[in-house]
Amino acid sequence: MKALVQRVTEARVEIDGAVSGRCGPGLMILVCAMQGDAEANADALAGRIAKLRIFRDDDGRMNRSLLDTGGGALVVSQFTLSADTSRGNRPGFSAAAPPDLGEHLYEHFVTALRAEGVTVETGRFGADMAVHLVNDGPVTIPIER
């Protein structure tokens, strides 16, 4: 699985003009299931992100995790993270998991992140969404598991 993790002061996702999910200080997580991924990949990714030390400590160093800060997470499915831009001008997305598996692994990732102790809100798999966020830092980190 692939994720793009952004440290945010706030984030929200809207579907048809209505807020579907939001978080205050914490993480905006865009996530994509790839061909060959399984629930173990989602579990490993959730554990890695929950413990990722990218929040400032008292000395201003990135030394605290989402669990340490008590922040929340907004998780949004993002199949375009699978983009292959190696040929031509139109990205290919064939490396993404098929939609049924992608949705299952997205939901499993959300459940696994909650099991780590993180408060999680979400978008809706496959929906056309408007994502609003204030990136803190900015800190944006790609992760693969």
78-89 pLDDT tens trace: 999 999 999 999
Q: Is 35 labeled as catalytic in the residue annotation?
A: no
Q: Is 78 labeled as catalytic in the residue annotation?
A: yes
Average pLDDT over residues 84-109: 96
pTM assigned to the model: 0.95
The single residue of 79, 85, 109, 140 carrying the catalytic annotation is 79
Of 58, 62, 76, which Cα lies nearest the Cα of 20? Answer: 76
Average pLDDT over residues 20-35: 97
Q: Which pLDDT does position 145 carry in this prediction?
A: 86
User: In the chain, pLDDT over 90 holds for what percent of residues?
Assistant: 99
pLDDT value at 68 more than 90: yes
Return the residue matching tokens 């209505």.
Answer: 18
Average pLDDT over residues 69-95: 96
Residue-range domains of the chain with CATH? 2-139 (3.50.80.10)
Q: Is 55 labeled as catalytic in the residue annotation?
A: no
Phi-psi region of 60 (alpha: psi -120 to 50; beta: other; left: phi over 0): left
The single residue of 35, 55, 69, 78 carrying the catalytic annotation is 78
